[in-house]
Amino acid sequence: MAILALDAGTTGVTALIIGADTGILARGYREFPQHFPEDGWVEHEPGEIWAATLEATRDALAASPEPPTAVGITNQRETICFWDRETLGSVRRAIVWQDRRTAAMCEHLRATGHSDRVSELTGLRLDPYFSGTKIAWVRDNDPHTWAHVESGRAAIGTVDSYLIARMTRGLHHVTDPTNACRTLLYDITTGDWSEELASILGVPLHALPQIVPSYGAFGSTDPSTFLGLSLPIAGIAGDQQSALVGQAGFDPGSTKCTYGTGSFLLTNTGTDIVRSPGGLLTTVALGHPDGHLTYALEGAVFVTGSAIQWLRDGLQIIDSAPESEVLAASVPDSGGVVFVPALTGLGAPDWDPYARGTILGITRGTTRAHIARATLEAIAFEVRDVVDLMRAESGIPMPHLAVDGGAAANDLLCQLQADQIQIPVDRSAELQTTGLGAAFLAGIGTGVWSGLDDLRAARRTDEVFTPGSDGEAAHQRWRRAVERAKGWLDDD
């Protein structure tokens, strides 16, 4: 028994074949083009995502010793697609989660008093990040597409929905709660689309997908459109929720951090909806087949691995990302240097789009090694600030932090992280847990694994970093530096 996991990310699609022992049997990967039609706009051509999905899958199948028996899908969240229900061709390009074109619309919705109610229903904030205002933008600016939406000819959905429509030849228009809850149109308390939110945003509910559980088969791929495969589609989850599953984060207090370009933390709060006055998001972690939902608190730190990229490409003080560790380890500390990598503003918990990168404490003795060390420390401080808030707001004990993502390969970073949060940092043997999570869901959904306990047992640790000295003084200095980085840009 093997599972095909499709991880449709922001820059490319990964296809994994996962064996019954949860090991990776084969992989395929294809990048697809990014489109930037205007400053701050980011678009994808859904047909290009579909083509990359087919090619990545073809490569994985060719390399796999076993054919898959089910498929699970995980995807970049919030990105919104519009396609023709008959031809399945896209009616316009998808608007990507990174796209900021609806900033003014969000401002207007706040000014007209919708902010509190939207947060109460969705657990989110009025920010261009989420899908709802992107759909409203299409209504206001793309009459051709909107006419098709209103007539019922065009379907709207996140990337999971679009791929499933393609894979089932238009038979299914579905999504799962982990994706639905990122649209601003889903009520996390009822677990369904909300008429009230639809009317605030002016989006017709008939154009949205049916919501199905995150695991359990609801339909099959059509061999005529999906490489001759007739596979039950048995797992769906947004990328961050899928990574939590890949880390076997099924219990309240289970927390994961994925260190990629940015870093994303999720902490499982069980069946409790925990509100976050401090700036975290409340989100659905999983929708179960019996209809109940598991919730999570989420914190996003925008610039972490990308600060390492900046050391490499901007400052050119390292040749490769792993070299950051060697250079930082060549000095015992940052020599008093603090780097706030607010290169694109600050996310949770400070939420300041006007903040910019700031390096403080430079002296005649400062070297590139101190800057490299200050960069790794900054990532650990940023993640600690989110962890502190999660612990305070959820009130649920956090036994350890499960980590994954490309930058989690950095031992020094993992150790600095453990020192900062004073709980063990447990690095997963598989750093790319997102696809693993989708396979886990599809495998539970089709009985390859009997339940969550099987997966708890299957999760493998690479290394555990135990907390050493607490780094409290360094953290206080960091907080002072963050205050100085805030509000740097003028409003205009």
For ligand ADP, the binding residues (CB under 6 A) are 260-261, 305-306, 308-309, 321-322, 324-325, 405-407, 409-410
Closer to ligand ADP by CB, 216 or 405: give it: 405
The nearest distance, CB 492 to ligand ADP, in angstroms, is: 31
168 vs 240, beta carbon nearer ligand ADP: 240
DSSP string, 390-422: HHHHH------EEEESGGGG-HHHHHHHHHHHS
Compute the least distance from the CB of residue 282 to ligand ADP, in Å.
23
Nearer to ligand ADP, 115 or 261 (CB): 261
Helix 103-111 crosses helix 115-122 at what angle (to 10 degrees)? 110
Which residue number, 225 or 306, has a Cβ lying nearer to ligand ADP?
Answer: 306
CB of residue 11 to ligand ADP, shortest distance in Å: 7
DSSP-derived secondary structure letter, 140 = H
Distance of CA 25 to the CA centre of its chain: 24
Distance CA 218, CA 58 (A): 23
SS3 category, 235: strand
In DSSP notation, 141-206 reads: H-HHHHHHHHHT-EEEEEHHHHHHHHHTTTS--EE-HHHHTTSS-EETTTTEE-HHHHHHHT--GG
Residues in the chain: 492
What is the smallest separation between the CB atom of 486 and ligand ADP, expressed in angstroms?
24
Which residue number, 325 or 426, has a Cβ lying nearer to ligand ADP?
A: 325
Stated as kind and residue range, the H or E segment containing 120 is helix 115-122
CB of 9 to ligand ADP, least distance (A): 6
Q: Are 328 and 376 in contact (CB under 8 A)?
A: yes
Give the three-state DSSP class for 216.
strand
Nearer to ligand ADP, 407 or 423 (CB): 407
233 or 413: CB nearest ligand ADP: 413
| Cβ 380 to ligand ADP shortest distance, Å | 12
Quick one: DSSP state of residue 207?
G
Nearest residue to ligand ADP, by Cβ distance, number only = 406
Neighbours of 404 (CB within 10 A): 26
Which strands form 80-84's sheet, in the order they lie side by side?
43-44, 90-95, 80-84, 154-158
Compare residues 1 and 321 and give the one whose CB is closer to ligand ADP.
321
Map 14-51 to HEC letters. EEEEEECCCCEEEEEEEECCCECCCCCCCEECHHHHHH
What's the DSSP call for residue 365?
Answer: T
User: 92 vs 427, which CB is nearer to ligand ADP?
Assistant: 427
Nearer residue to ligand ADP within complex by CB, 124 or 308 = 308
In sequence order, the β-bridge partners of residue 74 are 7, 237
Measured from the CB atom, the residue of 139 and 312 that comes closer to ligand ADP is 312
CB of 407 to ligand ADP, least distance (A): 3
**What is the C-alpha separation between 390 and 328, in angstroms, rounded?**
29
Chain CA centroid to CA 58, Å: 25
Q: Is 19 exposed, middle or buried (0-12, 13-18, 19+ CB in 10 A)?
A: middle
Task: Tell the smallest beta-carbon distance from residue 196 to ligand ADP (Å).
Answer: 35
Q: How far apart are alpha carbons 221 and 193 in whole angstroms?
A: 26
**Cβ 309 to ligand ADP shortest distance, Å:** 4
Q: Which residues pair with 3 in a beta bridge?
A: 18, 70
Closest distance of CB 329 from ligand ADP, Å:
11
Where are any strands of DSSP class E within 32-99? 43-44, 70-75, 80-84, 90-95
Nearer to ligand ADP, 58 or 312 (CB): 312
- For residue 305, the minimal CB distance to ligand ADP (Å) is 2
Q: How far is the CB of 182 from ligand ADP (least distance, A)?
A: 17
* Helix, strand or coil, per DSSP, at residue 6: strand
